[in-house]
Structure 1
């Protein structure tokens, strides 16, 4: 999900009962007088995210799972809420969570968190921002540095230590995503058997464990209006856990599209991201700076990037599966099987198959 400054009217079929929500929230929170309004953040392909507001004084963000059946253990609102509770005090880029509701109110669990204000860089530069190569370089540096900063935190000093099992992380990830891909597979996507065998045969030994965001990409970050190179928020903590930090770097690189990438890789999730522009780091430059900032050995990074493409294929396939089975009517999902097949082929190329 992307927290841009722009919201829009709620999509048909994804409405919330504003009167029921307002009555409930006024019992739990201090909210100024006035009518509550609900608008929706329009981007994102997974959880549904809304802005609740009363005038200009009070604004919060509500996160809930998508409509229809969801994959087991996916879209766990309570877990994401607890992750934010753990991280916000030690990593202030994570927004402050306010409350969690288990599902009795709107039929699905949801949580509320603070609404941050700033710039989001997605497919184009925000209005009023000078689109310079220098800014592209600064944004790239900031993205690397804030990721290395997250990985430097000691998870044992947070309540995450009671929520995670870092031992055997990569083995669980590789075999877990193989199962998820197969369970969500439709007859118009490839099996990926050759790639899955390569991944299973090349799992590296993790050298350490850290807090990982695991959905780290430019449009999940927010930057200062006064200094567009300064990050002021980081969102979408649904996949956050403790595990191999290089898996986080690999996942980030699967979203970090560069100018010479195949066209379908650039456009598989919509318009090409800003990272294809001059000035932004290449993946190699990103990885090199991460190695310098973190002090970590990145010798096995090709495995992690290959796995990240496969994992992304699995995520996209789960979305497409819901569309093909009539669980969502969002037209953005109609051709996602094409992107899934391309991701599998691209991962095979990255693996040298």
Structure 2
């Protein structure tokens, strides 16, 4: 039995219906992500890497809670009918979201005006950041303070190529000297680019 057969069998047991097909999504950088065609719908399955500590980009359940909350608030995100922290699909927790029609950014950029794409992105970001925290799926989590965020960025800068970080220390000093007053937390997209 190959990996996809194992995932298919485990997923069928988890959701109680036959999976017609499962196919790894070849493009993108979303880790273990699959197109799934079930009896009732077409889905996208997300799994954390095998053996990964469930945190950051491997915390697919947290991502699922956020996407589902945003979907319920009317933002352009898929419905996420299954979020499971139980390690039942190939020994891993998982989320199963509805597959939505869309176009990759590369094709969109060829067919639409850049200004319209940017304007739409800004409108969605404004709606995202205006959402009350209790409607984000993570409202009960402790907010990350500016100091903690700056420490995280300092660690990332140490690991980044030097040609990208030549003035990072100077910037960190300027930020530390001019820290703004803490405000009410808001949800922001932590990896915002047109591909996402």
TM-score greater than 0.5 by the shorter chain: yes
Describe the SS at the equivalent of 1:84.
Answer: helix
Aligned equivalent of 1:214, options 154, 177, 190: 190
With the length of structure 1 as denominator, give the TM-score of the two structures.
0.46
Bigger RCO of structures 1 and 2 (CA < 8 A, at least 6 apart): 1
Q: State the Cα deviation string for residues 149-206 of structure 1 (Å, max 9, x = none).
A: 211222245553212415x2x2211202333565xx49xx449585145315414315
Distance in 2 separating the partners of 1:70 and 1:181: 22
Tell me whether 1:42 sits opposite 2:51 in the alignment: no
Match of 2:13 in 1: 23
Q: 1:157 to 1:110 in 2, by over 3 A?
A: closer
1:66 aligns with 2:43: no
Secondary structure in 1 matching 2:29: coil
Partner of residue 72, structure 2: 89
Deviations along 1:198-219, one digit per CA (max 9) or x if unpaired, are: 3154143155532212222222
| C-alpha distance in 1 between matches for 2:55 and 2:38 | 35
- Aligned pair in 2 of structure 1 residues 16, 193: CA closer, same or farther (>3 Å)? farther
Q: Partner of 1:273 in structure 2?
A: none
Matched, 1:110 2:108: no
Q: Partner residue of 2:148?
A: 172
1:292-303 equivalences in 2 (<5 Å): none
Q: Tell me: CA distance 1:90–1:164, structure 2 relative to 1, closer, same or farther (3 Å).
A: farther
Aligned residue in 1 for 2:123? 145
Normalised by the length of structure 2, the TM-score is: 0.77
- Does structure 2 retain, via aligned residues, the 8 Å contact 1:175–1:200? no
**Hey, what does 1:131 align to over in structure 2?**
111
The gaps in structure 1 that reach 5 residues or longer are 1-12, 221-353
1:1-353 aligned within 5 A? 15=4, 17=6, 18-26=8-16, 31=17, 36-54=20-38, 58-67=41-50, 69=52, 73-101=56-84, 102-122=86-106, 124-125=107-108, 131=111, 135-157=113-135, 159-165=137-143, 168=145, 170-179=146-155, 182=158, 185=159, 189-190=161-162, 192=165, 195-196=168-169, 198-203=171-176, 204-205=179-180, 206-220=182-196
Structure 2 distance, partners of 1:144, 1:40, is 31
Q: Which runs of 5+ in 2 are unaligned?
A: none
Contact 2:31 2:48 in 1 (8 A): yes
Distance change (3 Å), C-alpha of 1:152 and 1:107 = same
**1:80 to 1:212, Cα distance in 2 relative to 1, 3 A:** same
Q: How many residues align?
A: 189
Q: Give 3-state SS (helix, strand or coil) of 1:88's partner.
A: helix
- After superposition, what is the alpha-carbon deviation per residue over 1:86-114, rounded to whole angstroms, capped at 9, x for unaligned? 32211331221111232133122211111
Counterpart contact for 1:14–1:67, Cα < 8 Å? no
The structure richer in strand per residue is: 2
CA separation in 2, counterparts of 1:202 and 1:146? 27
